[in-house]
């Protein structure tokens, strides 16, 4: 049986193919991850804005902060429900979006928005 020798060129070609595959896979993964986070951001903004509207309906004023809104409950029959479901919080106690940035809340208007670059107008 004879031994097959590989040339250095073949090793370089294989290394390039493997490297390109890794780079393309990483790019696809990060793009999908950003898309998933932006979809979650839309859902969370809807939930937060609904909670602000419900609070305004019950109390005839806006909450002073999102954290207050998360801490308070309202009664429905015999049950108590939170105005908003618990969301991730930063170390300083602020509610953060899926990208890890705090939500912006204007207590005068009751408007909630993201502070993540590129998503501020959502």
Q: What is the pLDDT of residue 30?
A: 65
What number is the average pLDDT over the span 51-76? 92
pLDDT digits (tens, 9 = 90+) for 75-104: 888 999 999 988 888 888 899 999 999 999
83 within 8 A of 54, measured Cβ to Cβ: yes
Give the CA count within 13 Å in the CB-facing half-sphere of 3.
Answer: 3
- pTM (2 decimals)? 0.72
Residue 103 lies in a domain: yes
Number of domains in the chain: 1
Residue 49 inside a domain? The answer is yes
Does 121 fall in a domain?
Answer: no
- In-domain check, residue 122: no
For residue 10, what pLDDT is reported?
81
Q: What is the DSSP string of 25-84?
A: HHHHHHHHHHHHHHHHHHHHHHHHHHHHHHHHHHHSS--S-HHHHHH-EEEETTEEEESS
Q: Could you tell me the residue range of the domain that residue 42 belongs to?
A: 11-114
Please check whether residue 74 lies inside any domain of the structure: yes
Q: Write out pLDDT tens, residues 17-34.
A: 888 888 877 776 666 788
Q: Decide: helix, strand or coil at residue 4.
A: coil
């Amino acid at each position: 049986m004879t031994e097959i020798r590989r040339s250095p060129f073949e090793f370089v070609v294989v290394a390039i193919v493997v490297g390109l595959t890794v780079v393309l896979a990483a790019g696809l993964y990060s793009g999908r991850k950003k898309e998933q986070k932006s979809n979650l951001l839309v859902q969370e903004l809807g939930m937060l804005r609904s909670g602000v509207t419900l609070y305004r309906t019950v109390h005839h004023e806006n909450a002073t902060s999102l954290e207050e809104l998360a801490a308070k409950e309202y009664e429905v029959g015999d049950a108590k429900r939170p105005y908003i479901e618990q969301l991730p919080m930063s170390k300083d106690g602020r509610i953060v979006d899926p990208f890890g940035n705090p939500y912006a809340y204007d207590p005068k208007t009751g408007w909630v928005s993201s502070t993540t670059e590129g998503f501020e107008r959502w």
